Amino acid sequence: MKREDCIFCKIAGGEIPSKTLYEDENFRVILDLSPATRGHALILPKEHAEDLHELSDETAAEVLVLAKKIAAVMVKRLHCDGLNLVQNNGEAAGQTVKHFHVHVIPRYKGDGQNINWVPGSPSQEELESIREAIVE
Ligand code: AMP
Ligand code: ZN
Is 79 catalytic? The answer is no
Q: Tell me what pLDDT residue 125 has.
A: 98
Angle at alpha carbon of residue 43, lines to 40 and 45, rounded to 5°? 160
Does ligand 1 come within 6 angstroms of the Cβ of 95? Answer: yes
Average pLDDT over residues 33-61: 98
**Nearest residue by C-alpha to atom 19 in ligand 1:** 33
Does residue 1 carry a pLDDT above 70? no
Is any atom of ligand 1 closer than 6 Å to the C-beta of 73?
no
Cα–Cα distance measured from residue 14 to residue 25, given in angstroms and rounded to the nearest whole number: 12
The mean per-residue pLDDT over the stretch 44-51 comes to 98
36 lines ligand 1 (CB under 6 A): no
Quick one: average pLDDT of 12-30? Answer: 98
Euclidean distance between CA atoms 133 and 16, whole angstroms: 44
Q: Are 77 and 3 in contact (CB under 8 A)?
A: no
